[in-house]
Amino acid sequence: MYPRIIFDGEKLIQNYKNIENKLKDKKIDLALVTKVICADPNIIKIFEENGAKLFADARLDNILKMKKNGIKGKFMLLRIPMISELEKVIENVDYVLISELKTLKKLGEISSSKNKKIKVIYMIDLGDLREGVWYKTSLNELIRASKVKGITLEGIGTNLGCFGGILPDENNMKEIVLIKNKFEKNTGIKLNLISGGATANLPLVEKNKLPIEINNLRIGEAIFCGTDVTNNRKVPGAVQDAITLEAEIVEIKDKPSIPVGNIGLDAFGRKPTFEDKGIRKKCIIAVGEQDIDPKGLKPKDKSIQVLHSSSDHTILDITNCEKEYDIGDIISFEMSYSCTLKASTSEYVKKIYNKPNK
Ligand SMILES: *Cc1c(COP(=O)(O)O)cnc(C)c1O
């Protein structure tokens, strides 16, 4: 049945070990970020068997899914929680990222009533403009956070590269260390965990430029996709085809490269643009925007060009292909992070799990 994604357990573990070794050398703990594959327990089990102990996800539902399926380890909630989910957070999560005192106080109240302490990582915004207290005024808020009853302020963290595309660098990483030091000096409380970021921090690790105070990174993309979209690179030593997509050809026809008639907007309200290359050989594969991000589809046959998708169809230009494709043939793709996320999420895409060899 197609479309389907194929998880290559051997390659996933190869990527995991690659990152784990890079971090182990620097005494940085690895939180495996599971959201891009919707924390699929069939896959997470493979990581667990290969030594993963800390699992991080943005969605509480994904954490619950892992726990229900017997994954053992510690769990970190990445998306700052909704007040309405705090009860469940306390029952199921070991580390929680927080950026609001109001949420923290509520968390403390519920924790106390349940006699359960949860470890909090307070988030600092170092300039990317997603979650976190603005770095310049963070000290005051951190001090207030440390006084909230019922919780343990385990550390501080930051997230870069996600909204503003801001790259982690020596300056912003030094800034978080500065905040840690100021806080500790001011309060006498030690922050055990300094979570410096995600895949985009790896170049600093490789170049030995991440401050030693940073002892945790939360990594997803580098392990599942082998890429680092923020730094626009492939991660050294990681492979990009641990997860692949297969889709089936349902039509092959020679057609013009420019549509005929007055051009309005496409199915998603976008204005399509076209280059006149004359008559081209094109095929339709049975997969669409509901399942993939066409911009993130990378055909293994390099002479295929992905043209466009609507909800359920994707159109490919196969004019330059050496292979004679036929109706019913299967086309294979590597995928970007966003495409992997969509394909994992789509219930119309079958999942095939290939276990590691050992
Ligand atoms: C998604 C996410 C990560 C993981 O990012 P990658 O680029 O996939 O390594 C880390 N931290 C937070 C807060 C996230 O939401």
Alpha carbon separation from 320 to 183, 282, 303 (Å, rounded): 61, 10, 6
Closest alpha carbon to 11 in 246, 236, 226, 333: 226
Q: Is 53 a catalytic residue?
A: no
State if residue 199 touches ligand 1 by the CB under 6 angstroms criterion: yes
State if residue 221 touches ligand 1 by the CB under 6 angstroms criterion: yes
pLDDT score of 272: 82
Helices of type H across the chain: 9-24, 41-49, 60-68, 86-92, 101-114, 138-146, 170-187, 202-206, 221-224, 337-345
State if residue 198 touches ligand 1 by the CB under 6 angstroms criterion: yes
pLDDT score of 286: 98
> Peptide bond before 299: cis, by omega within 30 degrees of 0?
no
CA atoms within 13 A on the CB side of 70: 5
Catalytic residue of the set 11, 22, 24, 35? 35
Write out the chain's pLDDT in tens, 358 residues: 999 999 999 999 999 999 999 999 999 999 999 999 999 999 999 999 999 999 999 999 999 999 999 999 999 999 999 999 999 999 999 999 999 999 999 999 999 999 998 999 999 999 999 999 999 999 999 999 999 999 999 999 999 998 899 999 999 999 999 999 999 999 999 999 999 999 999 999 999 999 999 999 999 999 999 999 999 999 999 999 999 999 999 999 999 999 999 988 888 888 888 899 999 999 999 999 999 999 999 999 999 999 999 999 999 999 999 999 999 999 999 999 999 999 999 999 999 999 998 7
Q: Which residues make Cβ contacts (< 8 Å) with residue 157, sequence separation at least 6?
A: 97, 121, 122, 123, 124, 193, 194, 195, 196, 216
State if residue 321 touches ligand 1 by the CB under 6 angstroms criterion: no
Beta strands 193-195 and 4-8, pairing class: unpaired
Nearest CA to ligand 1 atom 5: 198
Q: Residue 294 carries which DSSP code? A: G
Alpha carbon separation from 251 to 48, 168, 248, 254 (Å, rounded): 42, 46, 9, 10
What would the two tokens of residue 46 be? Answer: 């493979």
Pocket test for ligand 1, best of 36, 78, 228 (most atoms within 8 A of CB): 78
Spacing, Cα 224 to ligand 1 middle (Å) = 12
Alpha carbon 32 to its chain's center = 10
